[in-house]
Structures are given as structure tokens and as C-alpha cells.
């Protein structure tokens, strides 16, 4: 499972006894103190030693900072008054708990103080020789310290296991959130791609059929059918590509359907796709001015930039077909530089609709532009859209040739 990160390891002062063990210590302190007080009621010094020792044992489980000083004071009084028995059990238990839970410097100080205190008490008030008293004090304190060290190891191991379990839970939760975010992004990308297909091609189909209803010219009808066929073919091809991406099928579109575009047309160059979008709008009766500047090098630029330019042109032309007023649609694609400093620029402008005849930026267009803005930003670029002072609706974007180089500031 590995080692928990150092920032989550419990510091020495954070090691605590379980609540059950702390309560048990307090109970032992209370019972032993009350029991010993029955035989010490006539000796105030002995009573004070008993009370201090009992309090130290009761408090040390909660905080060694309170229990240790009380025991030291009890040892001093024991050495002065000769009350030996009341302090031996508290010394052993307090030393054990201090070694297990207190900072190292405090536990070392307590080991020295407890050894000296017990040594002086035994040497002064018992028949033991100094060497025997020293061995007895050292044995009592060291055995208690060894048990405390073992207890400390158990407590630290439990704490580290708890930390590792919490870290594992957090990693699992973070993984779940990350997976959900990826799914949300995939769903959003699929929704944007479906919008591109449905809004663009079905708008062309609906507009063509609506205009053809009033036509009696056979040539006009044949031209309309050709536009509908091209739009439906493009929609079917792009939907097949989306399905293959969504189902992780390799190889892309293979072969073709009679009367529909095949593999060669599926590899249509970005500049040809832009020209085809402009041509489709012309077939629907809109005047389109297309300026595909050689500086763009649209077909020679790798990465998502050219595809993003095509999406901007398609969305802008689709909205113009649906909502723009009479007048030409102007499409300009330019470029500058290479590498991190180079970028592709696209600008599509169309006349604003006359008052009362609709707007070029209704709810449907807003949803399309919102998805388009996300696509442009995913490619490292920026998108702007809005009315201009000369009465036109303008969509403009810039995308870096190097996807890692994201531009700053609003597109001009």
C-alpha cells in the first residue's frame, strides 16, 4: 500500500490513547486512590501524595503535559515524607503512557526525573542499598518505558493505517470525480459535434425545401435536390464518423455509399470544406464573398486549428442563412507566422436582420455559439461575436498554429 505522505504522518504530540484506555486509566486512578485513602486518613502528607499520584494517572491519558508534572510533584513529596508505595504504580503507568504519547523530549525528561525520584525515595525510606535502589528504580522505569514504546508503535501503526485508508478513499473519490468530468466533457463534445451536423445540414435542407415550394422551374428543383442530397450525404457521413468515435471503432469511414461521398471526399481538405460551405450558401440564394488568403496555409497547418476554422465558418454561415438580413455574407480566412507565434484568423460577417423579421442571435444561435466558443478555446484560441457599428453581425476567431500556445486578449 505504500507509505503515507509525510504531511499526513501523525506528529509525536498527535499520538493519543484510545478513549477506552483513557477511561480505564482514570478508573484505576480513582479506585486505587480511594482505596489507599482509607489507610492514610491520619497522615496529611501521605494523603497529598496519594491525591497527586492519582490525579497524574487520571490526567496523563488526556494530556501528558498535565499528568507528568503532577507525578513529579508527587515524587518530590514521596522522597520527603517517605510515602513509597502510593507512587510506584502511578510511576509505572504514567511512564508507559508518556513514552507512548508524549513528545520524545518530554518522555526522555520524564525517564530521568522518574528514575531519580524513585531512586531517592527507595534509598532514603527503605532498607535497600543505594545500588539496589538504583537497579530497582531503573528496572521499574525501563520496563514501563519498553511497554510504552511497544504501545507507541501500535498506536502509530494504527494511525498510519487510518491515514492510508483515508488517502485511499480520497484517491478513489478523486478518480471517480475525474472519470465523471471526462464523461461530462465527452458528452459535451459529442453534443457540440451533433449540433454542428444537425444545425448546419438540416438548416440547409429545410431552407432549400422551403424555397423550392414556390418554384415551378424544373432546373431550380433539380438544383434544390442536389443541395439536399449533398447536405444529407454530409450529415450521414459526419454522423457515421461520430458513431465510430463514440464506439472506439478504428479506421474511420471506409468505402462509400452510391450517390453519397466516399472515403476520398471524407478526406476533404479544410480549404475545400470552407469553399463548399460558401458554395452551399450561394445555392440557397445568398451572396457570399469568400477570401481564403494564401497566408493562412490552412491545408498545411497540423493540429486542431484548421478543423476549428471550418467549424467557425460553418456555424457562422448557418446562422447567417437562418437569421441574417439581405446582403452579402463575407468570409475571410487569414494567417500569420509559424510555431508558437503563428495563428489562424477567421472572420464571418453578415447583415443584421430588419426589425421585426427576427434576430441573427436567437436562442438556437446562442447555444451554437456557446459550443463553438468552447471548441475554439479547447484549440487554444478565442472567439468573439456581436453587432458592429456598420449594421453587421460579425463572428471572429483566432486559433494558434501551435495548440500549446494559447493567445491572450480578445480577438480583433
Q: Do 161 and 290 have their domain in common?
A: no
365 or 103: which carries more pLDDT confidence?
103
| 153 & 273 share domain | no
Last residue in a domain, options 112, 141, 171: 171
- DSSP assignment of 46-65 equals HHHHHHHHHHHHHHHTT-HH
The reply to whether 263 falls in a domain is no
Say which residue the cell 453578415 belongs to.
Answer: 350
What are the DSSP calls for 113-146, one per residue?
HHHHHHHHHHHHHSS--HHHHHHHHHHHHHHHHH
Average pLDDT over residues 157-162: 87
Say yes or no: 137 and 23 in one domain.
yes
Q: Is residue 147 part of a domain?
A: yes
| Window from 164-173, 217-226, 290-299 with minimum mean pLDDT | 217-226
Domain-embedded: residue 96: yes
Q: Which domain holds residue 408?
A: 269-412
> What gap in Å lies between CA 311 and CA 116, rounded to an integer?
86
Query: Do 166 and 274 have their domain in common?
Result: no
Q: Is 187's pLDDT higher than 70? A: yes
Rounded to whole angstroms, the Cα distance separating 294 from 68 reads: 85
Please report, rounded to a whole number, the percentage of residues in the chain having pLDDT higher than 70: 74
Predicted confidence at residue 14, as pLDDT, reads 56
Residue 85: inside a domain? yes
Domain-embedded: residue 212: no
For residue range 375-390, list pLDDT tens digits in order.
Answer: 888 888 899 888 888 8
CA distances from 14 to 6, 165, 170, 222, 367 (A): 14, 18, 22, 84, 54
Q: Answer yes or no: do 146 and 283 share one domain.
A: no
The pLDDT of residue 135 is 92
In this structure, what are the phi and psi dihedrals at residue 3, rounded to the nearest 5 degrees?
-100, 135
Q: Examine the domain organization and report whether 284 and 404 are in the same domain.
A: yes
Is residue 22 domain-shared with residue 149, that is, in the same domain?
yes
Instruction: Provide the 3-class DSSP secondary structure of residue 153.
Output: helix
* pTM listed for this prediction: 0.50
| Rounded CA separation 252/127 (Å) | 98
Same domain, 48 and 161: yes
Residue positions counted in the chain = 412
Tell me the per-residue pLDDT of 286-327, one tens digit each, with 9 for 90 and over. 888 899 888 888 888 888 888 888 889 888 888 888 777 888
Total of domains in the chain: 2
- 213-236 mean pLDDT: 68
Q: Are residues 37 and 167 in the same domain?
A: yes
Distance CA 240, CA 247 (A): 11
Last residue of a domain, one of 171, 193, 214: 171
- Per-residue pLDDT band at 13 (split at 50, 70, 90): very low
Nearest to 400 by CA among 386, 384, 411, 387: 411
User: What's the rounded Cα separation, in Å, for the pair 350 and 338?
Assistant: 30
One domain for residues 23 and 138: yes
Residue 1 in any domain: the answer is: no
Q: Tell me if 199 is assigned to some domain.
A: no
**Residues 166 and 273 both lie in one domain:** no
Distance between CA 135 and CA 132 in Å, rounded?
5
* CA 282 to the chain's CA centroid: 48
Give the torsion sign (CA, 260, 262, 268, 272).
negative
Q: Does residue 77 lie within any of the structural domains? A: yes
Of 140, 171, 202, which residue constitutes the final position of a domain? 171
User: Where residue 297 sits, what CATH number does that domain have?
Assistant: 3.30.565.10
d(CA 149, CA 89): 18
What pLDDT, on the 0 to 100 scale, is given for residue 339? 65
Low-confidence winner among 32-36, 346-350, 375-379 (lowest mean pLDDT): 32-36
State whether 147 and 279 are in the same domain: no
What pLDDT sits at residue 4? 44
Quote the CA–CA distance of 235 and 243 in Å, as a whole number: 12
DSSP 352: P
Contact 144, 95 (CB under 8 A): yes
Amino acid at each position: 500500500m505504500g507509505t503515507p505522505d509525510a504531511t499526513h504522518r501523525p506528529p509525536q504530540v498527535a499520538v493519543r490513547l484510545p478513549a477506552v484506555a483513557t477511561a480505564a486509566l482514570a478508573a484505576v486512578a480513582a479506585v486505587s486512590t480511594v482505596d489507599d485513602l482509607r489507610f492514610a486518613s491520619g497522615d496529611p502528607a501521605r494523603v497529598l501524595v496519594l491525591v497527586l499520584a492519582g490525579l497524574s494517572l487520571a490526567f496523563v491519558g488526556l494530556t501528558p503535559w498535565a499528568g507528568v508534572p503532577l507525578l513529579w510533584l508527587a515524587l518530590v513529596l514521596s522522597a520527603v515524607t517517605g510515602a513509597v508505595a502510593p507512587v510506584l504504580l502511578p510511576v509505572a503507568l504514567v511512564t508507559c503512557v508518556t513514552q507512548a504519547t508524549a513528545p520524545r523530549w518530554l518522555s526522555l525528561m520524564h525517564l530521568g526525573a522518574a528514575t531519580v525520584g524513585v531512586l531517592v525515595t527507595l534509598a532514603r525510606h527503605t532498607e535497600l542499598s543505594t545500588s539496589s535502589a538504583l537497579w530497582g528504580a531503573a528496572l521499574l522505569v525501563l520496563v514501563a518505558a519498553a511497554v510504552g514504546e511497544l504501545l507507541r508503535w501500535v498506536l502509530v501503526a494504527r494511525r498510519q493505517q487510518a491515514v492510508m485508508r483515508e488517502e485511499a478513499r480520497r484517491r478513489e473519490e478523486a478518480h471517480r470525480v475525474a472519470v465523471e468530468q471526462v464523461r461530462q466533457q465527452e458528452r459535451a463534445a459529442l453534443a457540440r459535434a451533433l449540433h454542428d451536423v444537425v444545425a448546419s445540414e438540416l438548416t440547409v435542407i429545410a431552407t432549400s425545401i422551403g424555397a423550392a415550394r414556390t418554384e415551378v422551374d424544373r432546373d431550380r428543383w433539380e438544383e434544390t435536390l442536389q443541395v439536399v442530397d449533398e447536405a444529407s450525404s454530409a450529415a450521414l457521413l459526419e454522423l457515421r464518423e461520430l458513431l465510430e468515435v463514440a464506439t472506439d471503432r478504428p479506421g474511420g469511414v471506409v468505402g462509400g455509399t452510391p450517390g453519397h461521398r466516399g472515403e476520398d471526399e471524407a478526406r476533404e481538405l479544410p480549404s475545400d470544406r470552407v469553399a463548399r460551405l460558401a458554395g452551399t450558401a450561394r445555392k440557397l440564394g445568398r451572396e457570399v464573398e469568400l477570401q481564403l488568403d494564401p497566408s493562412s496555409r490552412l491545408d498545411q497547418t497540423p493540429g486542431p486549428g484548421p478543423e476549428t476554422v471550418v467549424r467557425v465558418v460553418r456555424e457562422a454561415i448557418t446562422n447567417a442563412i437562418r437569421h441574417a438580413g439581405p446582403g452579402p455574407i463575407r468570409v475571410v480566412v487569414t494567417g500569420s507566422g509559424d510555431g508558437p507565434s503563428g495563428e489562424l484568423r477567421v472572420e464571418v460577417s453578415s447583415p443584421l436582420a430588419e426589425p421585426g423579421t427576427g434576430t441573427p442571435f436567437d436562442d438556437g444561435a446562442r447555444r451554437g455559439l456557446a459550443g463553438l466558443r468552447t471548441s475554439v478555446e479547447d484549440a487554444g484560441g478565442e472567439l468573439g461575436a456581436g453587432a458592429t457599428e456598420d449594421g453587421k453581425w460579425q463572428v471572429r476567431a483566432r486559433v494558434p498554429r501551435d495548440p500549446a500556445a494559447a493567445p491572450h486578449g480578445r480577438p480583433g
